[in-house]
Structure 1
């Protein structure tokens, strides 16, 4: 009984601390997306495709220097080669651990990493600027991988962010044994913490 009461008190105290300091943020920016094709000991990456991302997230402080940031957002991925483009849109769900380092009176630098899960919302192909018809989707509906991020959080809430998403899942439905296609995306964004 004592352990249960102590656990409940600890949970309430922790929840109160989180609710007093929790912030919510929005960020949007540009993606430089690519697909990594590998198999038979070789790896090929076509040219980067420029797209966008938009994300909402929460910032739960665990300590003054560490936060957990779960989020939900749209992220354009894919690749291009000459005049052919593959445009993929995902609903990404990241959970990042973020370390923050004060910078005089300006704000904080931050770096972080964590896993993400992605749900494919759309898949489009184009050739010479015109949409190409396909009978069925070639890409799987789910993706997962790791996020790496860094940036500057100004004291007024403005944020400047860079990031890299490293896909770990083979995202193509019918790839031959030993072959895989994985998402890669470099991001630059501006945001605001409330």
Structure 2
């Protein structure tokens, strides 16, 4: 009986120690998203788009230095365009601006290997597997002009669903750093380099890629 109790005690202690290697919790933060289009030897960078992300993470530490981490996040990434318009047609001069907002609703699954330089500071390298669940382009235009002494102005806006024209998978390798306080609160920052062509049926060598920065905060539950 004593031998059985000893074995059971050792087993329970082993489970407790292993449980301390797992940590999990929520995280959320700010994303700065950038679209880059290329084709026919030319490139175009969209204006950066400020957005957010929210989700959860789980971490397993092999030892004091090395760990792996997986996450599930949601983020509406994309990019923006704004162009000035000026032209004259049939004696009428028209000026104004045209804007477009590209929105890709994305479920992100980042998986990373982490190295703890200290007990609190870790550096990570991994792959963010993005799944595009929705894709829309919101466009607007504000035009004004004058003709025969009369002035006029006009504003229009449209929303187009472009999900059928966008690839579902958006892969982005990333590198980042994380700092964790003793109470489990942590802060992290990453740069995700978009490598997937989001255009489903490109003409020639057309590409559209989405890279983004992430700055976040979260809390880790689990053993110390």
Q: TM-score, normalised on structure 1? A: 0.83
Question: Which of 166, 175, 183 is the equivalent residue of 2:193?
Answer: 166
Question: How far is 1:27 from its partner?
Answer: 1.1
Alpha-carbon distance between aligned partners in 2 of 1:112 and 1:39, rounded to the nearest angstrom: 33
Question: How far is 1:93 from its partner?
Answer: 0.9
Structure 2 spans left out of the alignment, 5+ residues:
1-13, 83-98, 142-156
Contact 2:172–2:211 at 8 Å: present in 1 too?
no
Question: How far is 1:15 from its partner?
Answer: 8.1
Contact 2:100–2:139 at 8 Å: present in 1 too?
yes
User: Are 1:90 and 2:106 an aligned pair?
Assistant: yes
C-alpha change, 1:136 and 1:27, in structure 2 (3 Å) is closer
Alpha-carbon distance between aligned partners in 2 of 1:53 and 1:151, rounded to the nearest angstrom: 16
2:139 alignment partner in structure 1: 127
1:111 alignment partner in structure 2: 123
1:9 alignment partner in structure 2: none
User: Are 1:76 and 2:76 an aligned pair?
Assistant: yes
Per-residue CA distance 1:92-140 (angstroms, 9 max, x = gap): 11110111122xxxx6112111112111111121123955134763211
2:10 alignment partner in structure 1: none
Q: How many equivalent residue pairs?
A: 178
Question: How far is 1:16 from its partner?
Answer: 7.2
**What secondary structure, in the 3-state scheme, does the structure 1 residue paired with 2:170 have?**
strand
Q: TM-score, normalised on structure 2? A: 0.72
Alpha-carbon distance between aligned partners in 2 of 1:153 and 1:92, rounded to the nearest angstrom: 22
Please provide the CA RMSD for this pair: 2.3
